[in-house]
Structure 1
Amino acid sequence: MTHFFTRLIGFTALGVAIAMARPAIATPPTSPAWESTDCSTFGLNALQSAMSDCGYVTVPERHSQPDGPTIQVAVVRTRSIGNNPAPDPLFIENGGPGSTTIKTFAVDILPNLPVLPALLQARDLVFVDQRGTGHSRPFFNCPEKTEHNIAVARDEIAPTDTQWMVACRDRSLAAGINPNAFNTIENAADIYAVAEALGYDQFNYYGVSYGTLLGQYVLEQAEEHTAQLRSAILDGVVTTNIDFNLAATYTLSGALRNLFAACAADAQCNQTYPNLETVFLSLLDRLEQTPVPLTLKIPDTEETLETTLDRDEFLMFFEPYIANSGNASALPKNIYQAAEGDFSWAVSELSKALRDDDSGTGMYHTVLCSRVDSIAVDPSTVFPAPYEQLIAIGENESASYQHFCDLLQVEREPVFAYDNTEIPVLVLNGGYDPVTPQRYGEAVARNFQNAHVYTFPGVGHGSMFAPGGTPAATCVEAIALDFLADPNQPSNHRCIDEVKPIFKYE
């Protein structure tokens, strides 16, 4: 599972917020585990740098071996712009596994989307590049996968070719990377280590996508550390016991059904794009029989590349496309365009798959491989039957990561068990989420004594980051602010009733 946030541009929400409030001046961290660095090295602009502490926290490679080898996780602490901020910060963690938190949230989203400046009014925000990702050291990536993707697009090798996995494993081991150190147990312990290095007695946690699975481990470890976890927000929730790759067949089918039903229930959408489900499934059948020729551009070289797009490749692209809430309003229009042979709307996104891999692909695989003993539920027992045309995507994705597991042979974590279930949890779901559907969020919420659950129609993967200015964005911001102000008090907001799917016609 990859977390799907595109770079945001437009108005500078942080600049507007700062114009109305002065950031607090705080003492930089003094912990011996902390190593400061210039915030510009992480890509922060001058305004953000002036109100942030940036650096590395040194943590044990294995927390059970505190005197053993160490690694470093990259951290940005942005100080609250409020006059009387709460003492407990909000840690914000991205998904993937393997996606960078600092680049996505501190660099791209904080200056441009109103929700994070709104949260910054009340408390500090802390962004941690999880071990193996982003600016953290070591960076456990697999650049070999980019070469693989380009070769596949050129029809030079099969998508199932595993040479890149072998090359990544061998190079990483030769570089001294210990795959056994990159799992969710260690990752969760890092969060507490960072909180303690920054001098916080208590903190709140927000995670999206894999960040929600990490959040469940952070909750599970709450009694094992000095810093105390006050509350957790889980947005686009991963369950602990289902292979989300295998389940993609079912979860994408569910998101599509929600989209088709929403369009059919909207008079203008139904009139403009009738029989959307039939049109989409017919498109898949045609792509299976006759792949479409496309010209893509390799982002890092600007070289053009002639390729073809078949059914399964289209679905692998369309899953992250529907996950991005910024695309939600255009989905019926896009489907109709594709049915008419126009894939121009998809070319840019398909080309991005050929750029240099900036995610921790090695970390992605070790995280999944270490958790295999917790995967005990077959998705077919949880979900309605999927669309037949989608069956291959889940099977292929699951088989791919399992093959890398066979190559890595990492240590397995104990089976996950819920603990500290009294800590308040806010669960956010998106109706169009093709990876972490409402069923996952509701299932996880049932494990906690004090869980508040909200589902946002017409929103994809990551409800907190619905497009700015929409009812969904306004509502989720209000709910999150209320929850963080008093996690034990259920929100009385009925704004969720005003959230409806939005459709674009021009």
Structure 2
Amino acid sequence: MKKNIYLIILFTGLLMAGCDQPEASPTPTLEAVEPTATVEPIPEPTLGPMGVFEEGDCPFSVPGDQTVECGFVVVPEDHENPDGPTIKLAVAVFKDQSDAHLPDPVIILSGGPGEKTVHNAPAITQAFAPIRQDRDLIIFDQRGVGLSEPALECPEVVQVSFELLDEPDTGIAMQESFDAVMACRDRLLSEGHNLSAYNTVQNAADVEAIRVALGYEQLNLWGGSYGSQLAQATMRDYPDGIRSTVIESVYPLEVSFVVDTNSTVPDAIMRLLATCTADEACDSAYPNLQEVLFEIIDRLNAEPVLVKVTNPLDGQSYDVLLSGDAVLGNLRVVLYLTPALPSVPQAIYDVYNGDYELMTQLTGLRFLFVDAVSRGTQYSVLCADDLIGRTIDEVFEARDAFPSQLVGQTDPALITEYSTFALCKMWGVDEADPWVKEPLVSDIPTLVLSGEFDPVTPPKFGKLVAGYLDNSFFFEMPGGGHSGESTTECALSITAAFIDDPTTAPDASCIAEMPGLVFDVPREVGDVILVPYTNDEVGVSGVVPAGWNEVSPGIFTRGNSVLDATALQIAIEPSMGAKELLVLLAEGYGLAEIPESTSERQANGLTWSLYAFEVQGVPRDLALAESDGGTLIVILRSETDERALLYEVVFLPIVDGLIPLQ
């Protein structure tokens, strides 16, 4: 069975990735990490942050049922110099219109550092709808990021990332990447940007300035990854403006991303492999998984393979050299993306057996990260904050503790010459004061969430931070990676309960019901059983495949991971006829022409028009039928080699059984 890893467009404007999971894998027992550091007093900010809101047009299409205020919060470039130059922070406030409106909004602190957020605000708002609890939701781009002005972009780095995809010489690749960063630095400095003004202390002051400028008395912070570190800094510097905090994928103030990932990443890979070995079905399908992984890494480092990789963002294809270290890099990327974890054993074994398709798709996931952050800001923040008191020797000590297959085989001399330590010596920002690395001690109510397989902010980091917080609640999400677990139904319910009453432990009983990581194992495509389905929210009744995951009302995915992208949607559109809807769907899929009907089908007094077309080479089957309640819709996405069978055993039976609810 061939699979496609990329996101599925099932309906106009809807991006969907596969969710999980049938049976539980045990959550590993981790020792609680007790605070050991002596915490020094933290100097208080000398001035309250200043900011002014300037309303403007929203840089995205505002959903019809939303009221959104967009614009910029104008703040000093340096909050210690309020009369100096100013910068603009792009802000979007999704206003709550409920009768039970509450005055304290939720503000999203994004990761990176440097993650671009505002352009995707409607989707973020939809994902976090359950935690708003009758509150406004504030989404903003941090200073130097995305739509904020200025944005410290590094197109030089993005360009060279594509140019080096097939470069066989590691030294050349590292040198050219380093030179691209330096070219970006030179250009940003020539444009007059003060790179030393972009750090976590200034970011925390920006959060407070946004609160004041928008007129809120207190905020509920939600921060993930670097956003969790920013949340800690804001709690430290401006505690009076914070009602509660939720942090996930927790990045403690006192650790170093650059140094500590040299041990946390290989450790997460080892735990993932061990989980497969401990799972009877996975171990039976993919025995001796660690040995097989090490063998393919060694083999591909000796003889890399050139593969054709598609960028899931634009459909363009590139020649990419797949080495053993590239496979290792793919595993790190997958550990960032929870929905991709179940397919790791199959991807490893496929390469062992000479099939590179799945691993090629994993390689394509890297494109999602190439331009997701404003890299000039990322370098400025890391160079100011991350390396305080750390040395390159610690990097090598961490690497020496693991097999070479899990840390890469790059020459140590090249690592020294082109490492982040070397980059930061040249980037030219002021290193922050050492006190910014002190652990946060606070009594602000805080919810701490960690993913079981997080490669960069493992659960022990969440426990470390929670240990210093008097009013904290820590939960580990089974089967979770670095991102994705926070928007599961269970995590959202815990978060919503906490924000509703942050002084009381939230009901987390749903964690015990989570299946954990369920690996994809071989199965027969034709083993489909259809079961009755009725959904008042969708407005239809019929049948659906048993065991498929309903990830959203009327939307089903077959597999445990995004690598099995076979998916189904059933719906009814009450306000649009079939022809008009067909045009809208064609536009949403980016089709050059409106599809022609391949046939008609009579069922339940309805006349269905059937269509078949491809989107980026992947088959879609579509059925439309007008009824008194609106236009009924069935869409099936399948792989080319499975399409004929799924058409007969899934698509047509669902069409025959679907009726509108009266």
TM range (shorter): 0.7 to 0.9
What's the counterpart of residue 105 of structure 2?
89
Q: Deviations over 1:62-116 (max 9, x none)?
A: 0011111100010111122543132111111211111112235x243333x4xx1
**Secondary structure, in 3 states, of the residue corresponding to 2:175?**
coil
Could you say if the C-alpha distance between residues 249 and 490 of structure 1 is closer, same or farther in structure 2, counting changes exceeding 3 Å?
same
Structure 1 residue identity aligned to 2:447: L
What's the counterpart of residue 498 of structure 1?
513
Matches within 5 A, 1:180-329: 180-223=196-239, 228-297=241-310, 304-329=317-342
- Match of residue 359, structure 1, among 373, 391, 395: 373
**In the TM superposition, what is the alpha-carbon distance from 1:183 to its structure 2 partner?**
0.3
**Secondary structure, in 3 states, of the residue corresponding to 2:138?**
strand
What's the counterpart of residue 148 of structure 1?
160
Distance 1:7 1:53 in 2: 30
Structure 1 residue identity aligned to 2:499: L
Matches within 5 A, 1:412-423: 412-415=431-434, 416=436, 417-418=438-439, 421-423=442-444
**In the TM superposition, what is the alpha-carbon distance from 1:347 to its structure 2 partner?**
3.2
**Secondary structure, in 3 states, of the residue corresponding to 1:277?**
helix
Structure 2 residue identity aligned to 1:488: T
Structure 2 residue identity aligned to 1:482: A
**In the TM superposition, what is the alpha-carbon distance from 1:501 to its structure 2 partner?**
1.4
Could you say if the C-alpha distance between residues 243 and 56 of structure 1 is closer, same or farther in structure 2, counting changes exceeding 3 Å?
same
Q: Deviations over 1:467-493 (max 9, x none)?
A: xxxxxx222112101111111212242
Instruction: Work out whether 1:452 is the aligned partner of 2:473.
Output: yes
Moved more, 430-439 or 492-501: 492-501
Structure 2 residue identity aligned to 1:434: P
Could you say if the C-alpha distance between residues 272 and 392 of structure 1 is closer, same or farther in structure 2, counting changes exceeding 3 Å?
closer
**In the TM superposition, what is the alpha-carbon distance from 1:124 to its structure 2 partner?**
1.4
Structure 1 residue identity aligned to 2:469: F
Given that 1:92 and 1:207 are in contact with CA atoms closer than 8 Å, whether structure 2 keeps it comes out as yes
Distance 1:229 1:280 in 2: 47
Larger Rg: 2
**In the TM superposition, what is the alpha-carbon distance from 1:295 to its structure 2 partner?**
1.8
Instruction: Work out whether 1:371 is the aligned partner of 2:385.
Output: yes
**In the TM superposition, what is the alpha-carbon distance from 1:8 to its structure 2 partner?**
8.1
- Match of residue 147, structure 2, among 135, 145, 148: 135
Given that 1:94 and 1:209 are in contact with CA atoms closer than 8 Å, whether structure 2 keeps it comes out as yes
Moved more, 299-308 or 52-61: 299-308
Distance 1:61 1:487 in 2: 34
Matches within 5 A, 1:340-489: 340-348=353-361, 350-351=363-364, 353=366, 357-372=371-386, 374-376=388-390, 378=394, 385-392=401-408, 399-415=418-434, 416=436, 417-418=438-439, 421-462=442-483, 464-466=485-487, 473-489=488-504
Given that 1:236 and 1:463 are in contact with CA atoms closer than 8 Å, whether structure 2 keeps it comes out as no
**Secondary structure, in 3 states, of the residue corresponding to 1:159?**
helix
Distance 1:95 1:397 in 2: 25
Distance 1:13 1:486 in 2: 35
**Secondary structure, in 3 states, of the residue corresponding to 1:322?**
helix
Structure 2 residue identity aligned to 1:36: E
What's the counterpart of residue 183 of structure 2?
167
**In the TM superposition, what is the alpha-carbon distance from 1:302 to its structure 2 partner?**
6.5
Q: Would you tell me which structure has more strand in proportion to its own residues?
A: 2
**In the TM superposition, what is the alpha-carbon distance from 1:334 to its structure 2 partner?**
1.9
Distance 1:487 1:397 in 2: 45
Distance 2:423 2:215 in 1: 39
Q: Deviations over 1:206-255 (max 9, x none)?
A: 111111111111111124xxx61111111101122332233223212222
Could you say if the C-alpha distance between residues 219 and 345 of structure 1 is closer, same or farther in structure 2, counting changes exceeding 3 Å?
same
Structure 2 residue identity aligned to 1:123: R
Given that 1:249 and 1:392 are in contact with CA atoms closer than 8 Å, whether structure 2 keeps it comes out as no
Could you say if the C-alpha distance between residues 248 and 271 of structure 1 is closer, same or farther in structure 2, counting changes exceeding 3 Å?
same
Structure 2 residue identity aligned to 1:196: V
Given that 1:97 and 1:210 are in contact with CA atoms closer than 8 Å, whether structure 2 keeps it comes out as yes
Given that 1:421 and 1:448 are in contact with CA atoms closer than 8 Å, whether structure 2 keeps it comes out as yes
Given that 1:240 and 1:374 are in contact with CA atoms closer than 8 Å, whether structure 2 keeps it comes out as no
- Match of residue 35, structure 1, among 54, 59, 70: 54
Moved more, 158-167 or 355-364: 355-364
**Secondary structure, in 3 states, of the residue corresponding to 1:503?**
coil
**In the TM superposition, what is the alpha-carbon distance from 1:403 to its structure 2 partner?**
2.3
Given that 1:77 and 1:127 are in contact with CA atoms closer than 8 Å, whether structure 2 keeps it comes out as yes
Q: Would you tell me which structure has more helix in proportion to its own residues?
A: 1
**In the TM superposition, what is the alpha-carbon distance from 1:463 to its structure 2 partner?**
5.2
Q: Deviations over 1:149-195 (max 9, x none)?
A: 12322428423332202210111111121101100000111011111
Structure 1 residue identity aligned to 2:425: D
Q: Deviations over 1:108-152 (max 9, x none)?
A: 3333x4xx1112343111111001111100010110012221232
Distance 2:140 2:339 in 1: 25
Could you say if the C-alpha distance between residues 465 and 47 of structure 1 is closer, same or farther in structure 2, counting changes exceeding 3 Å?
farther
- Structure 2 residues not aligned, in runs of 5+: 1-5, 15-49, 523-662
Matches within 5 A, 1:28-67: 33-39=52-58, 41=59, 43-47=60-64, 50-67=66-83
Aligned residue pairs, count: 469
Distance 1:299 1:75 in 2: 28
Could you say if the C-alpha distance between residues 486 and 10 of structure 1 is closer, same or farther in structure 2, counting changes exceeding 3 Å?
farther
**In the TM superposition, what is the alpha-carbon distance from 1:300 to its structure 2 partner?**
8.5
What's the counterpart of residue 20 of structure 1?
none
Could you say if the C-alpha distance between residues 209 and 169 of structure 1 is closer, same or farther in structure 2, counting changes exceeding 3 Å?
same
Distance 2:12 2:199 in 1: 36
Distance 2:312 2:520 in 1: 28
Could you say if the C-alpha distance between residues 359 and 7 of structure 1 is closer, same or farther in structure 2, counting changes exceeding 3 Å?
farther
Which 4+ stretches in 1 moved above 4 angstroms?
6-14, 297-304, 351-356, 375-384, 393-399
**In the TM superposition, what is the alpha-carbon distance from 1:13 to its structure 2 partner?**
12
Identity of aligned residues (%): 31
**Secondary structure, in 3 states, of the residue corresponding to 2:74?**
strand
Structure 2 residue identity aligned to 1:97: P
TM-score when normalising by structure 1: 0.84
Given that 2:263 and 2:398 are in contact with CA atoms closer than 8 Å, whether structure 1 keeps it comes out as no
Distance 2:110 2:384 in 1: 19
